[in-house]
């Protein structure tokens, strides 16, 4: 099975059988918008017991991740080069994911562009549907306004619960390696906000 899926024909695809694709049964974790793939490759290397799916629209980033997977001989990652909402909707079964990572999503800082932000109530409902009970959603951003926006919409999503306690940001977990955008933000003196929510079992 190829590591990379093409972006075509997604409408006609049934949810993927990831056990067959990876050739084993293992927890499934998705990273949306992995950029150059550095953090995803590191996580895959640190957690060989986990099957990872990367979703990224930017083809050069996909190529960079493919190279890293080859160089590091990592076999526990598959990649979709396509829009994350399309992939979650059509290719990923409900209640199948152990976790979703979204590190430094495009912040769309101008008010008139806020509607382009990936994290909104519809996106969170879709994501909550795909998570298993107890599965996690981990977002991080260096853009305070987006962090507060994410906190607001996440706190309003009935099926997700803040691991840190209501309206609290989480400490940065040790397993989250620095990303390219995070390093860029650090150079500019930006702060970083981590939000970790879990799929509630009772809803
Ligand atoms: C600001 S960059 C952050 C990249 C990386 N996570 C990092 O921290 O270095 C946001 C990434 O999300 C990708 N992206 C934006 N919208 C997306 C979508 N709907 N589906 C998949 N990837 C998306 C972009 O192509 C870009 O690589």
ipTM entry: 0.99
DSSP-assigned beta bridge partners for residue 99: 29, 136
Closest CA to 36 of 61, 70, 4: 61
Assign 11 a pLDDT band (cuts: 50, 70, 90): low
Assign 141 a pLDDT band (cuts: 50, 70, 90): very high
User: Largest Cα–Cα distance in the chain?
Assistant: 45
Closest ligand 1 atom number to CA of residue 182? 8
User: Which residue out of 14, 106, 122, 194 is catalytically annotated?
Assistant: 106
Nearest residue (CA) to ligand 1, atom 4: 35
| CA distances in angstroms from 6 to 3, 56, 57, listed in the order given | 10, 11, 11
Nearest residue (CA) to ligand 1, atom 27: 35
Any residues with CB less than 8 A from the CB of 124 and at least 6 apart, and which?
A: 137, 153, 154, 157, 160
Question: Using alpha carbons only, how large is the chain's radius of gyration in Å?
Answer: 16
Distance in angstroms (rounded) separating the CA atoms of residues 72 and 74: 5
Domain covering 15-199: architecture: 3-Layer(aba) Sandwich (3.40)
pLDDT at 167: 96
């Amino acid at each position: 099975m190829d590591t990379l899926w093409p972006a075509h024909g997604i409408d006609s695809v049934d949810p993927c059988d990831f056990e067959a694709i990876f050739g084993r049964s293992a927890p499934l974790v998705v990273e949306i918008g992995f950029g150059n793939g550095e953090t995803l490759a590191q996580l895959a290397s640190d957690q060989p017991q986990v099957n990872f799916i990367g979703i990224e629209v930017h083809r050069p980033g996909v190529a960079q991740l493919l190279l890293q997977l080859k160089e590091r001989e990592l076999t526990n990652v598959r990649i979709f080069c396509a829009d994350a909402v399309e992939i979650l909707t059509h290719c990923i079964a409900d209640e199948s994911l152990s976790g979703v990572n979204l590190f430094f999503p495009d912040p769309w800082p101008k008010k008139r562009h806020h509607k382009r932000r990936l994290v909104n109530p519809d996106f969170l409902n879709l994501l909550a549907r795909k998570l298993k009970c107890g599965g996690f959603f981990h977002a991080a951003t260096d853009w305070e306004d987006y962090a507060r926006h994410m906190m607001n919409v996440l706190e309003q999503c009935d099926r997700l619960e803040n691991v840190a306690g209501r309206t609290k940001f989480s400490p940065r977990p040790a397993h989250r390696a620095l990303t390219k955008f995070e390093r860029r933000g650090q150079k500019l003196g930006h702060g970083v906000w981590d939000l970790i929510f879990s799929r509630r079992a009772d809803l």
